[in-house]
Structures are given as structure tokens and as C-alpha cells.
Amino acid sequence: MPEGLSRRSFIKLAATAGAAAAVPGCEPASRKLIPYVVPDENVTPGMPTFYASTCAECSAGCGIVATVREGRVTKLEGNPADPISAGSICARGQAALQGLYNPDRLANPMVRADGGSLTQISWDQAIAQLNDHLGRAIKAGKDRVAFLGAPQGPAFRKIVDAFLSAHGSSRAVFYEALGNEPRRAAAQAVFGRRDLPVYRIDQAQTLLSFSSDFLETGDSPVEYARQFAAFRAPRQHRSGLDIGRSFYVGPRMSMTAGRCDRWIPAAPGDEAQIAWSVLNVLIAQRWVSQNSGVDLNALASLVAAYDPASTSKRTGVPAEAITAMAEAFGKADGAVALAGGDDDLLHTAVCVLNAVTGNVGRTMLFLDGGPSEAASTPDEVAAAMTAMREGKIDVLVIAGANPVFTMPPALRAAESLQKVPFVVWCGGVPDETAAMANLLLPAHHPLESWRDTFPRAGVRGLGQPVMQPVFASRATGDILLAAAQASGASSLPGKTTEEVVKAQWLAMAPQGGAEDFWTTARREGGSFSEAKPAAVRLNTGALRAPSPSSSPADLTFVTFPHIFLGDGDGADKPWLQEIPEPITQIVWDNWAEIHPSTAARLGVSKDQLVELRTEHGVITAPALISPRVHPGAIAVPLGQGHRAYGRYAKDRGSNPWEILAPGSLRIAVKVNPTAATRELITPLGKSELMGRSIVEAMSIEELARGGAPEEGPLAPEPYEMYAQYDYQRMWGMTIDVNACTGCSACVAACYAENNVPVVGKEGVIRGRIMSWIRIERYYPEENEPGPSVYLSPMLCQQCNHAPCEPVCPVFAAYHTKEGLNGQVYNRCVGTRYCENNCPYKVRRFNWFIPEWPEPLNLQLNPDVTVRGAGVMEKCTFCIQRIQHAEITARIENRPLRDGEIITACAQACPAKAISFGDMKDEQSAMMRRRADNKLRDYRSLEELNTQPAIVYLRDLYREKGKA
């Protein structure tokens, strides 16, 4: 990023082709051409500029590269230099753009009158009010000013500390709704250190997940998806050709559970006992590492009560499953156990499991020199809320957190905030907490501001603004620093956030090379090095085992962060609302997963609203009757239930936080069916394959045997309707379904790259969803061999014998000279014959003029036409990227290089499941992937003789009884 960013004049060629792309179809672009006054040497109008930064959508801290066109960011991709993202980001990261351009963002400072109504004021007035209240708070005494917000990096912490000390206070509360306290407590008990470990799933041959949805949420979903793909890739194990063995123990079949070899249903809270039982078997069978240095006798007495037979009796988990897990875990050459949830005894058990098998330092690493703890402990948070209620705080600044929404009722967040005389809220889209604030200040989006991240030892991410602010917002750090200065602070870490961040980096720089280091960091998006794992020892003295107990007779409510909406902060982004949750395929709503036997007992039917009552409160949710949840559990995702937070989030579903106790995501619940129903909406048709070869799988045993016996060709004798065309180039894809996790990053990337509109819940109900690529989900029928769930990307297959092409009366659907099924928007008259004739159902029709409420339209990619009503559209294999690369190659007078073109979906895939390339080039990486996996290849619906350009590689599963 040039020094000039802040000064950069954004007077630009405002009317370059497509800049007015929000106006669909034939309306004119702007008639004005406004050139730069002074050209920016780094900007070529009409060509993208790239800036490295960091993603702030979750705590993983992925590095990103932002594509900027004419001063506005249009696409985010992973930063290949960053070891965490390694070039890919998830759906939430892709959708950060819709947080930036959200039409409901606060545009100007607002002040709340006593009656509750909001009035717009100027920044000067707002700052004056803030300074006035801060001044009075200082006079009132010590610790009268408090900060409450999410951890936002080391530099931001410095700023908050400086702000508070300038006002005689030390009340900084860094609040994370989904914290890591149980894991830290467990690491403390077992290893005597409170930092969070990192995992190397790719170094393992066996994986046990106890309710850890590491592919969806948690520490680092992108990184772990990448590692899990390597783990699941067929390779030589001791026993021969194999894939990693994976087990998931937990109350519901999440996406992560579905991608494991075996899902073992367990009642919520029973995971710890099962983990200890696995430990019991490991020690009894001596499947432990000889040199782990662990006192096995001490452990043996601790786990004595957990023999598989009695554990099975108590929990209902088959003893066979426990011994199978133990055997796979203990005998593996590298294994890793992971845990999710809030049970510190489960986290303890997982640490011990990894330690006794010698996997700490191998698959579970503690790194020295890592970040100090980011978040406040739950006790500190509770104490701060109490202080507010007791009237000990006069001014509270809230930034990056939504306590009124995410705090369980026992913390009494709303009541506490009410007792604070002056609450200042800094943020984007006004949420439930903003509704209680006295002063609302529009804050920069992370893509508009400076910040730094320190996700782990060796990884320092630098976040820099990638464009000028969309609204009249300011950086939260700048607001705090200005306030501190106004209050007469003698020493500040800097005048602006940029200065603080820069000072932080210069302090890390090698002798004499400070400015170079800073420049490099801005170009590379940070500073990355390999950290060595620390030597840690298991301390058996402090260990505690859970008390053996039977599963509760009552139903247990269990909640979990939604893969896209997280704890609720993703709900304001329409892409994340409209992309179906991979397993349930539900959009724009939340649901209560109920086992069929439980539903029958309670008299609950599909879509019926059930009332979930706990000692803390009551919510309702429509029932999703599914055998993929434990009969003793009612599971509802977090994320919905907002009463504010913009048009896309407001008044949608219910908020599970309202019925939980602090520090726990499960609780005893009473379920009452109500008379009302609400239909759960999914774009999916059938959940069963019904004999169709849409997606295929084979067992790893069969692969090891050398594949299935040769079948006759599925298709009839190759039949050509037209003369063969001599292709110079023919674009194709290879998609490894075994690597795909279902995370839908590809779907979000496609929405961003190709200006795919969102149709809303009503639109999805009417079958009008527009996604060009989707994750199809199927379940194998009972007694049918197959994986727990089929998850496979479906997009235009670019058939060589395309059924869509010959039925178009106006030649809008035609075959290009590079083997694509072209779709010419300006020729299309909307007969929809092509859509009818497509066996893959990947063509989408625009029933209406799509809308992008301002300023969401600023995200639109100017290289792609915005389609109007009455036009058919579909996946183009990112033809704009192909065009760009072909033109560049032609100008440079050289052939196209393999890998030069990468479609948005392939680029986004964390597991690198999608390869794109030229089918005429046998040496292309895409074709080599086909050749290397000959035993696994299939084409979707091959028997139709459509000759797709996409070759899938079969998903792999384990034959029954071998898991």
C-alpha cells in the first residue's frame, strides 16, 4: 500500500464501463468522465489493484488479498504468503464485503434523546458530547470509564489501554461470545500452560473429534479443512493404501461429523466420559507411547471407572465403538484428538489422549512466543457487568461486540447497560446493543482501517485499509486516541491507529531495516515465520476425571455456532443467509433438530414450531425431524433471532443465547409443541439419490483392491449429433469429492465474482435461487453402502453434448470454440427451454430485475455483466478470468501457462478440491489429477452421454464394520 492511500484522491474515471453496473441491462452508464487530478501511480483505471490485508470475520486471522477496481474493493481472496489461509478464505471471509457495503450501516453519528429517538449529529458535536461525559467521569473518580469489545489485535489493545489510563481506569473487557476458557483451563491442568495449541491434522492417521466442528467454526476452519483434505487423501499407511481414519462423537451429525468415517451419536455432555473410556482402553491395552514420560499407573487408577462395558451402559454408546476408536488411535502412526464445547473435563481428556500416545509435539503443538491471552475470562466479564449494574461506571465504550444479543440472560446485559449513564457504541450495522446506546458512532469496517493480528507464534498479520471509507465513519482506534488526547493524556502510543500499528511493526523490525520491514509487511500482508513447538510435559497430579454418570433422562438443549452466521454476527450479510447450511440445506432461518423417536414421543411434526423452555427463558423454533441428532438432544444453531442488525437479520428465527446459562452451550430443556408452524426453506429437492449417479462414492477397501470390476460403458455407443470440432483448447475441471468438506466457500466466492443476485426467502421458496454453484447434499438410503453424507459441488458441467444448446431458439446458448456452453445474455429471450432441458439443474432464470440496495452495488464486478429480468444465466467457468489471461498471453506473445487461469470457486476452495485447466493439455495439473486418480473418476449422470467437462473423483468411505 502506498503512503498515499489516505491522501489518495478518489476522483476517478467514475464512468468507466460497468461502473454504473448496478443499472441492469440496457440503461446507459454515466455520461460523465471524470479523470484524476493527480494520477495514482499504482492505479490503472480499468485494471485491478491488489492489497494484502487480514480478515477480521473470525479469530483465525487469515491473510487476504483484496481486489480493488477504481477505488472500491470487489473481491477478497486468501493471501498465498500467509501460512494460515494459504491462499483461500471461507464463505464468511468472502462475505466480509457485504459487511463493508451493508446498506444498513450507520452513516452518521447519532445521539439518543431521553425519549429514545435518535437524532443525527455532526462528528464535532459527537466528539464534544463524548469528551464532555469523559471529562465528568474523570472528575467522578477512578475506574468510572470502561471499554467492552471483541479482541481486535495487539495494537488495538494498546489503544484501549491508553484510552482507559488517560481516563483513570483499567476496566478493559475483551469479550468473546464463544470463548476458549474451557480449553485454556484444561491445558493449564494438564500441561501447566494456558495458551491454545495448534493442530497438525495432516500429520495424523487417525482423528477423534469429540463435538469439535473444526471444519466449520472454531480456531481456524480454512487451515484445518486444508489439513483434513491431506489427511483424507488416499496414501500408503502401515496397513496399505488407506485414508485417515476419523471418528466423530457428539450429539448431532454436523458437517464435520458427516465428513468423518463414522459419526457416533452421544448425548450432549457424555463426550467426556467416552473420551475417558477411550483412554481406559488405551492404557489397558498398552496402546501408548513408550517414551511419553507419562505416569501410566496414576492414569490407570483415574480411568478405572471407564471400562467400555460400563461406559456403554451409562451412555448408550456401543462398547465396540469405544474400542474401535482406541485401537485406531493407539495403533496409528500419528493421531490427533480434538474437542469442542464447554466441558473442561472433555478438553482435559483430549489433552491426555494426545499426550499418552506421544502426539503432543507432533499433531498437537504448543508454541512458545505466542500471543498473550486475547479475551477476558468469564469471571472478569461477569464482574464488569455487575459493576455496571452497581452504578460504578459512567461511560462505557462498546466496539466489536454485541453483548445484549450474545450474553446469556444471567449476565443481565441489557439491564447492566441501562444502568450506565452514557453508553457509546462504535460499529457498522446498529445491533441490539446499539439500540441501548446513548451515542452511536459509525466505525470503520476492518477493510477500511489499520490493525494487526497475532493469531499464533510466528504469524503476525498486518491489516491495512483497502479503500476509502464508504460512509462518514472513523476508525474506533482513532476515536479512542482522540478522546484520550482531549482528556490530556501525557503519553499516547500514537495519534492515529496507523501510527500505533506502524510503531508496533517498527519495534519488531531487524536492526537498521525498519522501513524496509514495514514496506515488506504492507506488501506481503504481514510477517510470517515457522515457530518451533515447545516441549511440554503432562502433569498427572492435577488431573481430574469426570464422575461416571448416566445420561440425563430429560432432553438436553444444545446449540452450536452456525457455519456462516457464527454466533450471530454473520446474519446481516445476505450471501450468508442465502447459502444453504451444508447439512440441513436450510436458508434464511434457524431450526430445532429433533430425532424422529423423540418427535413421535412429543407429538411434534415437521416444521411445527416448538417451544423450548429452560430455567433461563423460552424460545421457539420450527422442528427439523432428523435421525442425525441424538434422541436425547434438541439442537438449534446460533446466529438468528436478531431484533435489530439490519434488514437481512432482523426478526428472523430465534436466539438460543436467550435460554442458556453463562459459559455453556447446553442445558436441560422442556419441549412443548405449539399449534403454529413455519416452513423450513431449502432449495434442495430430494435428499435421496434414488439410483441416480449424480454423485458417487467407493469404499477405500475397494480402491485398495484396485477398483471395481470393469463395468460396461454406461453411456450408449458414443453418439455424435454434429461433426467433431477440432478444439485447440478445451476447458475442464477435476473435482475431488473426497477432499470437499461442503464448506461452501466456493459458493460465496462465486456470488462475489459473478454478480449473482440474492433472492431472499420468498425467492428461494419459489425456486428462484440464483447460485451458479451449489453444494448438493444427499444421504445414502438405509442399508445402502456409502458415506454418512454426500456433499458435492454442482455447477454447469460445460457438456460437450449439451442438452441446453440445441433447444435454444435464438442461439443464446451455444458451444464456444474452447468447449464452453456459452450463454449470451443480450441474445436470450427467456424461453427457459435450456433450463428445462438441463439434467443438472444449474441454469438460473432472472424473474425480476435483481436489486443491490446501495451501496451493496459497489461490490459488483465490472468485468461481469449484471443480468436483467427475463435472462437466463449460469456458470461460465469465470470466462472473464479466461479472457483476461488469454489477452495477457497474446500481448506478451507467449502460450497460456497452466495454472494462469483459476476460477473463483477453485481459488476459494480451502481443501483445493477443484482444479481447472485445459483438457487438451495432458500435462496440465488438472489432467494429471485425473490421470493419477483413474480408479476414482466419474462423470455426473454419465449415462446421459452429455460428456461433461467436469470429472469428479469419487468420495471414499469405509465398509461397514471396518471403521
Partner 1 sequence: MNRILLPLAAVLLISGLGAVAVSERPWLPRNDVVQPIPFSHRIHAGVNKIPCQYCHEYARRSENAGVPPVARCVGCHGSGITGGIKPVTRAWNDHQQPPFEIRWNRVYTLPDFVKFTHRPHIHAGLACQQCHGPVETMDRIVPVKEINMGFCVECHTQRKATLDCVDCHH
> Which residues of the shown chain bind partner 1 in the complex (CB under 8 A)?
7, 9, 11, 13, 15-18, 20-21, 23-39, 44-47, 814, 816-818, 820, 822-827, 863-866, 876, 879-880, 883, 887, 890-891
Interatomic CA distance for residues 885 and 867, integer angstroms: 23
Q: Are 91 and 745 in contact (CB under 8 A)?
A: yes
Report the run of H or E that residue 872 belongs to, with start and end.
strand 872-873
Whether the CA torsion 234, 237, 241, 244 is positive or negative: it is negative
Supply φ then ψ for residue 124, to 5 degrees: -60, -45
> Toward partner 1, which CB reaches closer, 30 or 597?
30
> Toward partner 1, which CB reaches closer, 27 or 717?
27
> Toward partner 1, which CB reaches closer, 30 or 297?
30
> Toward partner 1, which CB reaches closer, 661 or 824?
824
Least separation in angstroms between CB 487 and partner 1? 29
> 476459494: which residue's cell?
908
> 440472560: which residue's cell?
409
> 509487511: which residue's cell?
521
Residues in the chain: 963
Least separation in angstroms between CB 47 and partner 1? 5
* Adjacent-strand bridge partners of 173: 148
Interatomic CA distance for residues 321 and 281, integer angstroms: 11
Q: Are 905 and 749 in contact (CB under 8 A)?
A: yes
Least separation in angstroms between CB 857 and partner 1? 12
For strands 63-69 and 72-78, give the pairing. antiparallel
CA–CA distance from 336 to each of 202, 251, 354, 594, 961 (Å)? Answer: 10, 20, 6, 30, 22
Rg (Cα) of the chain, in Å, rounded?
A: 28
Least separation in angstroms between CB 710 and partner 1? 38
Q: Are 609 and 677 in contact (CB under 8 A)?
A: yes
> Toward partner 1, which CB reaches closer, 271 or 753?
753
> Toward partner 1, which CB reaches closer, 826 or 923?
826
Least separation in angstroms between CB 836 and partner 1? 22
> Toward partner 1, which CB reaches closer, 27 or 782?
27
Least separation in angstroms between CB 573 and partner 1? 25
Least separation in angstroms between CB 808 and partner 1? 12
* Adjacent-strand bridge partners of 236: 241
The DSSP secondary structure of 667-709, one letter per residue, reads EEEEEEEEEEE-PPP-S---SB-TT--SS-EEEHHHHHHTSSP
Mapping DSSP to helix (H, G, I), strand (E, B) and coil, where does residue 654 land?
coil
Supply φ then ψ for residue 111, to 5 degrees: -125, 145
Least separation in angstroms between CB 881 and partner 1? 10
> Toward partner 1, which CB reaches closer, 229 or 820?
820
Least separation in angstroms between CB 52 and partner 1? 22
Q: Please classify residue 143 by burial: count the beta carbons closer than 10 Å to its beta carbon, then call 0-12 exposed, 13-18 middle and 19+ buried.
A: middle
Distance, CA of 840 to chain centre: 27
> Toward partner 1, which CB reaches closer, 338 or 878?
878
Report the run of H or E that residue 339 belongs to, with start and end.
strand 335-339
Interatomic CA distance for residues 875 and 148, integer angstroms: 45
Question: For residue 609, which amino acid is it?
Answer: L
Q: Please classify residue 806 by burial: count the beta carbons closer than 10 Å to its beta carbon, then call 0-12 exposed, 13-18 middle and 19+ buried.
A: middle
Q: Provide the strand spans (E) within 700-812.
A: 731-736, 774-778, 790-794
Least separation in angstroms between CB 930 and partner 1? 25
> Toward partner 1, which CB reaches closer, 205 or 859?
859
| Cα separation of the two ends of the chain | 51
Least separation in angstroms between CB 824 and partner 1? 5
Of the CA atoms within 13 Å of residue 117, those in its CB half-sphere come to 2
Interatomic CA distance for residues 562 and 581, integer angstroms: 8
Interatomic CA distance for residues 558 and 270, integer angstroms: 12
Supply φ then ψ for residue 761, to 5 degrees: -60, -45
Least separation in angstroms between CB 886 and partner 1? 8
Mapping DSSP to helix (H, G, I), strand (E, B) and coil, where does residue 611 land?
strand
| C-alpha grid cell, residue 41 | 501511480
> Toward partner 1, which CB reaches closer, 678 or 827?
827
> Toward partner 1, which CB reaches closer, 439 or 808?
808
Least separation in angstroms between CB 17 and partner 1? 6
> Toward partner 1, which CB reaches closer, 584 or 816?
816
For the beta sheet containing 262-265, the strands, ordered from the edge strand earlier in sequence to the opposite edge, are 262-265, 245-250, 206-210, 335-339
> Toward partner 1, which CB reaches closer, 343 or 818?
818
> Toward partner 1, which CB reaches closer, 511 or 893?
893
Least separation in angstroms between CB 949 and partner 1? 15
Least separation in angstroms between CB 756 and partner 1? 14
